[in-house]
Amino acid sequence: MPLVLAVSGLLVLSGCADFEDEASGERWSAAPELSPERGPQPQLPEAQTPDVPSAPQQQPTKVPPPEGCKDFDQAVIATCLDTVSAVTPLPGGGQVISALAGERRSGRVMLVDSNGTEERFAKLDVAATGDGGLTSLALSPTYAEDRLVYAYVTTPEDNRVVRFARGQKPKPVLTGIPKGPNGNAGALLATVDGSLLVATGNAGDAGKAGRPGTLSGKVLRIDPSGEPAADNPTNGSPVLASGLTVPGGLCQTPDGSRTWVTDRGADKDALFAVPDGADSDGVAELGSPAWTWPDKPGVTGCADWTDSVAVATSRGENVQNLPLTQDGSVGGEPQVTMDGDNGPSYGRLGSLSQVSENVSVAGTVNKDGGKPGSSDDRVVLIVRQPSGGSGRD
């Protein structure tokens, strides 16, 4: 089974729907439609993965510890940030990989790349109480044309989706997602079909996840302007599926045939396959999880490698690699990497986003309950390697 190892060396809102919002006192609303038509998806750089399955195993070169903000690990592309709870790669070419990195508590979005660039891209106003703040980023499905970025944020009034461009103020896209003392984290994913998936927390009320009149604890599907997608289970509703507690991340295969959402539940963490629509009874539920973690490692972002799905963890401080069968179901125990024994450890991973079929980018949140080093928090490249080796069951 392949391993995942580190490389060493404000619009006027229109329209309204009847959704209850006990926590925030607001109703959700969507911005007007965007005028540009959807164009081709950005092409992200492919990883150069060595083809050495039969080569003898070599001892990895020991990387010196960081000196202040200088990190000698070639997989680290940004240092001395704060709680990188959101990352999204940018389109590019050649050997340079660039990404946007969002800090949960400050709302700052940084442009970083593998050449050492660290520039401020945007600053979002957030309320970072509990687990809220800036918790996810995604490029517009038409980023090549509009250069827009979407963010899931907590404000003093609610949780919401906003969009912004560099040098411009953020504009609300979807507002009125209930806010609570916890359960405010959310996740975003721009899909192959041009829609935007939004995973929402339950705002600290477990009952909301199964309640149809609230946006809490749901997977929502909207168009880039914030309107419900046309083929959702209920006409005029943004809800695609329900049943979440505190989502950690969303990911999808390159062809859009399979979509996952991770969730930090009350008694266990879980990975769910996101349904395309309602079942035969017209009910849109996530159903049984594809995999659960009773030890609750704090699942965050994920990446679908076609024959396996990688799930980053915060409390677990590792990456869990789940093998997939030909029909896309989980086929066995996860293989643990990035834990210090099977690949280097970068501590608590607060985000993970797929760059290409072989590369992902991750952010650390060691300043948020971990043991930060002098160069934390960091943005790290994670590469899917073809070499063998057994992980920990």
DSSP code per residue over 5-17? EE----PPPB---
Q: How far apart are CA 149 and CA 142, in angstroms?
A: 10
Residue 20 exposure: Cα atoms within 13 Å on the Cβ side:
11
Q: Long-range contacts of range 309-312, CB-CB < 8 Å, 24 or more positions apart?
A: 309/251, 309/260, 309/271, 310/4, 310/352, 310/360, 310/382, 310/384, 311/249, 311/262, 311/271, 311/352, 312/249, 312/349, 312/350, 312/351, 312/352, 312/362
pLDDT computed for residue 384 by the predictor:
81
Q: For residue range 211-263, list pLDDT tens digits in order.
A: 888 999 999 999 999 999 998 998 899 999 999 999 999 999 989 999 999 99
Question: Among 76, 72, 63, 98, which Cα is nearest to 378's?
Answer: 76
Domains of the chain are 1-31+72-296+341-346+375-393 (2.120.10.30)
- pLDDT, average across residues 341-367: 94
Name the pLDDT band for 61 (thresholds 50, 70, 90): low
Any idea what DSSP says for residue 210?
G
Identity (one letter) of the amino acid at 48? Q
* φ and ψ at residue 143, rounded to 5 degrees: -60, -35
Tokens encoding 379: 């943005």
Q: Which residue has the higher pLDDT, 229 or 1?
A: 229
Asked which of 60-74, 125-139, 320-334 is least confident by mean pLDDT, the reply is 60-74
Q: How far apart are CA 390 and CA 57, in angstroms?
A: 13
pLDDT mean across residues, the chain: 84
Q: For residue range 78-116, list pLDDT tens digits in order.
A: 999 999 999 999 998 678 999 999 999 999 999 999 999
* φ and ψ at residue 210, rounded to 5 degrees: -100, 5
| Whether the predicted pLDDT of 12 surpasses 60 | no
Q: How far apart are CA 97 and CA 282, in angstroms?
A: 43
Any idea what DSSP says for residue 141?
T
Asked which of 73-77, 110-114, 382-386 is least confident by mean pLDDT, the reply is 382-386
pLDDT computed for residue 53 by the predictor:
35
Exposed/middle/buried for 278, CB within 10 Å: 0-12, 13-18, 19+?
A: middle
Asked which of 49-63, 163-177, 216-230 is least confident by mean pLDDT, the reply is 49-63
pLDDT computed for residue 284 by the predictor:
74
Question: Among 122, 130, 76, 136, which Cα is nearest to 301's?
Answer: 136
pLDDT computed for residue 95 by the predictor:
84
Name the pLDDT band for 210 (thresholds 50, 70, 90): confident
Please give the model's pTM, rounded to 2 decimal places: 0.85
pLDDT computed for residue 47 by the predictor:
36
- In the three-class reduction of DSSP (H, G, I as helix; E, B as strand; rest coil), residue 330 is classed as strand
- Measured in whole angstroms, how far is the alpha carbon of residue 15 from the centre of its chain? 28
Any idea what DSSP says for residue 144?
H
Q: Which residue has the higher pLDDT, 118 or 5?
A: 118
| Whether the predicted pLDDT of 154 surpasses 80 | yes
Contact yes or no for 262/300 (Cβ under 8 A): yes
